[in-house]
């Protein structure tokens, strides 16, 4: 059967559109020529897509320089509000941050990665604005490892096959066998730890939110390495974290 030419062109056009959006995000805005050079595209192609994006409020044209528009924010708020876990966890995460005086975050897995969808920064451990909406590799993050530990070995391998085990710092686990051993430790302890594996100077602890036997999210407490010592995690923070997640899971069941 001959491939559908119109379908192929449509897919290519969509890929170009996404590339333009990502490039605008990376550059904090750009003109047609800059985008065309950056993406190795014809200026007419870039301009056509930008006009369409502007017409639909996804970009703003400021004197020939285009930046992403607030329609993306509108869409993002809508998407987050569709997640029941966000509504079930939000107030409890606020409380957790207040109780521990450390940053508390909600991470949700999707397509083999994790995204920060809500959090409360404390002690300037994180920049709130630059963290919400950020994707993280599951293997290099305490929340991610808490989630992976409650997936089957086959599912974990699928994540590795898709995203690899890239190093974020010199402490990141980049070996498959080492990761599986760490995940076994997570299951035995009941929580995952991150000692500067995704960010230098940062320690974190996380445990998953389980629903119907599946990890649908993870809650993490994160802070400066000198404050979040292993001793404090074991003696103080784990109990607070577990209580918070228990409350969230109950709310998911009973509303």
Summary mean pLDDT of the chain: 93
Write the CA distances from 38 to 20, 24, 30, 35, integer angstroms: 9, 11, 10, 5
pLDDT recorded at residue 11:
72
pLDDT band at 4 (very low <50, low <70, confident <90, very high): low
pLDDT digits (tens, 9 = 90+) for 132-178: 899 999 999 999 999 999 999 999 999 999 999 999 999 999 999 99
Strand, helix or coil for residue 92: helix
Positions of E strands within 161-229: 192-195, 202-211, 214-224
Least Cα distance to 176 among 196, 162, 156 occurs for 156
pLDDT recorded at residue 2:
42
pLDDT recorded at residue 129:
64
pLDDT recorded at residue 72:
95
CATH number given to 5-74: 1.10.10.10
Q: Is the pLDDT of residue 63 over 60?
A: yes
**Is 91:231 a contact under the CB 8 Å cutoff?**
no
5-74 and 83-254 share one fold: no
Which of the four CATH numbers 3.40.50.2300, 3.90.1150.10, 3.40.50.720, 3.30.450.40 does domain 83-254 have?
3.30.450.40
Q: Is the pLDDT of residue 128 over 90?
A: no
pLDDT digits (tens, 9 = 90+) for 73-103: 999 999 999 999 999 999 999 999 999 999 9
Tokens 């920049």 found at: 127
Q: Is the pLDDT of residue 203 over 80?
A: yes
Distance of alpha carbon 221 from alpha carbon 142, whole angstroms = 9
> Is residue 175 exposed (0-12), middle (13-18) or buried (19+ Cβ within 10 Å)?
exposed
Q: Is the pLDDT of residue 121 over 50?
A: yes
pLDDT recorded at residue 122:
81
Q: Is the pLDDT of residue 125 over 60?
A: no
pLDDT band at 200 (very low <50, low <70, confident <90, very high): very high
pLDDT recorded at residue 12:
81
Sign of the dihedral defined by the CA atoms of residues 52, 56, 61, 67, in that order:
negative
Q: Is the pLDDT of residue 224 over 90?
A: yes
Tokens 């590799």 found at: 137
Exposure string for 138-162, b = 16+ CB within 10 A, e = fewer: bbbbbbbbbbbbbbeeeebeebbee
Least Cα distance to 238 among 182, 195, 193 occurs for 193
pLDDT digits (tens, 9 = 90+) for 28-59: 999 999 999 999 999 999 999 999 999 999 99
Q: CB neighbours of 100 closer than 8 A, spacing ≥ 6?
A: 122, 221, 236, 237, 240
pLDDT recorded at residue 247:
97
pLDDT recorded at residue 1:
40
Domain boundaries, the chain: 5-74, 83-254
């Amino acid at each position: 059967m001959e491939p559908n030419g119109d379908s192929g062109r449509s897919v290519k056009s969509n890929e170009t559109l996404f590339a333009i959006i990502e490039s605008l995000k990376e550059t904090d805005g750009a003109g047609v020529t800059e985008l065309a050079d950056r993406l190795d595209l014809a200026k007419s192609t870039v301009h056509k897509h930008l006009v369409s994006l502007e017409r639909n409020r996804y970009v703003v044209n400021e004197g020939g320089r285009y930046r992403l528009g607030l329609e993306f924010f509108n869409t993002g708020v809508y998407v987050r509000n569709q997640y029941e876990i966000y509504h079930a966890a939000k107030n409890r995460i606020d409380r957790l941050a207040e109780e521990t005086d450390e940053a508390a975050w909600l991470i949700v897995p999707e397509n083999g990665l994790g995204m920060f969808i809500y959090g409360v920064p404390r002690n300037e451990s994180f920049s709130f604005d630059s963290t919400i909406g950020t994707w993280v590799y599951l293997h290099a993050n305490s929340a991610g490892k808490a989630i992976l530990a409650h997936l089957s070995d086959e599912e974990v391998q699928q994540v590795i096959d898709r995203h690899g085990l890239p190093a974020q710092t010199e402490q990141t686990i980049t070996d498959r066998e080492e990761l599986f051993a760490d995940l076994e430790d997570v299951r035995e302890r009941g929580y995952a730890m991150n000692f500067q594996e995704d960010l230098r100077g940062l320690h974190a602890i996380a445990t998953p939110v389980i629903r119907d036997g599946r990890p649908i999210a993870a809650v993490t407490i994160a802070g400066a390495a000198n404050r979040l010592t292993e001793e404090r995690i074991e003696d103080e923070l784990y109990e607070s974290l577990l209580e918070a997640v228990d409350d969230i899971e109950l709310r998911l069941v009973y509303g």
